């Protein structure tokens, strides 16, 4: 009888130890905070093995793959997550990966598509602007930044980008107009210093 009790106690102890050793999503967050992205991803993959179609688990796996520079893998998982539950997070993740891969046309095209659903989203506009800039389409870049400035008129960093791209697009007069406002409210801007000789009164 004593042997049976001992065996039962050992089994319960083993189960308890296994339960205590099982990682949780919090452990993944903590590993990410410590910049141990491989461990954070490993934990998420272990957790998601029991629920492989959970859109958030897939989304988080994609994010960690992005942090690890595994952009193509991340795109696959962002796409999978977005297919299960349509989300701006997943679509933004795809754009981020496309930008990281230098796929400017694809990134700009997807950003434009997202903006049809979220026309006031300045984050996506900024990503579209970056893609257009890398394509050396300065007019399109300026148009994105102009829209952002209309939504957030006191975002002087973006106004600086607007000045630069208007000038590159040879729209000097509008560049001058925004330069004067930038100079008035953010005189320490690098753009103010860079264009000081160009827009001297």
3-class DSSP assignment, residue 91: helix
d(CA 113, CA 103): 16
d(CA 17, CA 22): 9
pLDDT band, residue 22 (cuts 50/70/90): confident
Q: pLDDT at position 200, please? A: 79
Compute CA distances 162 → 165, 170, 195, whole Å. Answer: 5, 12, 13
List of domains in the chain = 19-101 (1.25.40.10), 115-201 (1.25.40.10)
d(CA 115, CA 118): 5
Residue range 144-190, pLDDT digits in tens? 999 999 999 999 999 999 999 999 999 999 999 999 999 999 999 99
Average pLDDT over the chain reads 91
pLDDT band, residue 42 (cuts 50/70/90): very high
Q: pLDDT at position 1, please? A: 52
pLDDT band, residue 25 (cuts 50/70/90): very high
Q: Is the pTM of this model over 0.75?
A: yes
Flag whether pLDDT at 7 surpasses 90.
no
pLDDT more than 70, % of the chain: 89
Q: pLDDT at position 201, please? A: 61
d(CA 162, CA 158): 6
d(CA 72, CA 81): 14
d(CA 188, CA 185): 9
Lowest mean pLDDT across 21-25, 54-58, 91-95, 130-134: 21-25
Residue range 75-124, pLDDT digits in tens? 999 999 999 999 999 999 999 999 999 999 999 999 999 999 999 999 99
Say if CB 138 and CB 165 are below 8 A apart. Answer: yes
């Amino acid at each position: 009888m004593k042997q049976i009790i001992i065996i039962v106690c050992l089994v319960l102890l083993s189960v308890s130890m296994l339960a205590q050793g099982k990682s949780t999503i919090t452990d993944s967050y903590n590993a990410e905070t410590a910049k141990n992205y491989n461990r954070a991803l490993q934990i998420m993959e272990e957790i998601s093995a029991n629920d492989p179609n959970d859109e958030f688990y897939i989304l988080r796996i994609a994010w960690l793959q992005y942090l690890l520079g595994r952009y193509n893998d991340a795109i696959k998982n962002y796409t999978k997550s977005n297919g299960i539950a349509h989300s701006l997070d997943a679509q933004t993740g795809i754009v981020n990966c496309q930008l990281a891969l230098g796929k400017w046309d694809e990134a700009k095209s997807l950003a434009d598509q997202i903006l049809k659903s979220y026309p006031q989203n300045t984050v996506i506009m900024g990503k579209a602007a970056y893609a257009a800039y890398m394509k050396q389409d300065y007019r399109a870049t300026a148009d994105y930044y102009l829209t952002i400035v209309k939504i957030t008129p006191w975002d002087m960093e973006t106004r600086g980008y607007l000045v630069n791209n208007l000038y590159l697009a040879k729209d000097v007069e509008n560049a001058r107009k925004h330069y004067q406002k930038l100079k008035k409210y953010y005189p320490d801007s690098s753009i103010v210093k860079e264009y000081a000789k160009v827009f001297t009164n």
